[in-house]
Structure 1
Amino acid sequence: MFRAASRPLSSLRPLTRVATLTPLRAAAVPTRSFSVSAFSRMSAGPTDVELHSTLVRELKHEQQQQSSEGAVPEFLAEFKAKKPEWTILDQPLHKEVALTRTFGNEKITVLFNTDALDEAEEFENELEEGEEEDRTLPVPVSIIIEKPASPTLGALEISASIQDGGFFIESVDHTATPALAHDQTAEGDWTRRSKYAGPFFGNLDEGLQEQFHTFLAERDLGDEVVDFVPLYVEYKEQREYQTWLENVASFVKN
Structure 2
Amino acid sequence: MWRKATASGFGALNHLCRRHYSSSAVINSMLLRSLKEHYLEVSKMTPPPKVNPPEPFTVVKGALDANGPVLRRSYGDEQITVSVMRLANIIPGGGAAAAADDDADDINQLFLHVDVSKPGQKESLLFLCGLYPDALGIHSVSIRPRPHDSDSAELPSAYTGPLFEDLDEGMRDAFHSYIEERGVGDNLFPFLQAWLYVKDHRNLMRWFKSVGSFVKENKSV
| Interval containing the TM-score (normalised by the shorter chain) | 0.7 to 0.9
Q: TM-score with structure 1 length normalisation?
A: 0.65
Q: Is the 8 A contact 1:145 1:156 kept in 2?
A: yes
1:216 corresponding residue in structure 2 = 179
| Structure 1 or 2: more helix by fraction | 2
Aligned residue in 1 for 2:7: none
Within 2, Cα distance between the matches of 1:246 and 1:103? Answer: 41
Give the whole-Å Cα distance in 2 for the aligned partners of 1:132 and 1:218.
32
> Which residue pairs with 2:40 in the alignment?
60
What residue in structure 2 maps to residue 150 of structure 1?
Answer: 120
Structure 1: stretches of 5+ with no match in the other structure: 1-22, 25-37
Among 69, 80, 87, the alignment partner of 1:108 is 80
Instruction: Report the counterpart of residue 165 of structure 1 in structure 2.
Output: 134
TM-score normalised per structure 2 = 0.73
Question: Contact conserved, 2:56 with 2:73, CA < 8 A, in 1?
Answer: no
Higher RCO (CA 8 Å, separation ≥ 6 residues): 1
Q: Equivalent residue for 1:12? A: none
Question: How far apart, CA to CA, are the structure 1 residues paired with 2:116 and 2:34?
Answer: 46
Deviation at 1:226, TM superposition (A): 2.9
1:86 aligned partner = 58
What is the CA–CA distance in structure 2 between the aligned matches of 1:132 and 1:57, rounded to whole Å?
A: 23
Aligned-pair Cα RMSD in Å? 3.6
- Which secondary structure does the structure 2 equivalent of 1:158 belong to? strand
The question of 1:205 aligning with 2:162 is answered no
2:198 corresponds to which residue? 235
Alpha-carbon distance in 1 for matches of 2:104, 2:200: 23
Q: Structure 2: which amino acid aligns with 1:46?
A: V
Shift of 1:130: 8.5
Superposition deviation, residue 158 in structure 1: 1.0
Deviations 1:105-132 (A, max 9, x none): 0111111235734756x23743287898
Tell me the distance in 1 between the aligned counterparts of 2:181 and 2:192: 18
Partner Cα distance (1:113, 1:119) in 2: 11
Kept in 2: contact 1:160–1:167 (CA 8 A): yes
Tell me how many residue pairs correspond in the alignment.
200
Q: Is the 8 A contact 2:127 2:138 kept in 1?
A: yes
The gaps in structure 2 that reach 5 residues or longer are 1-9, 12-17
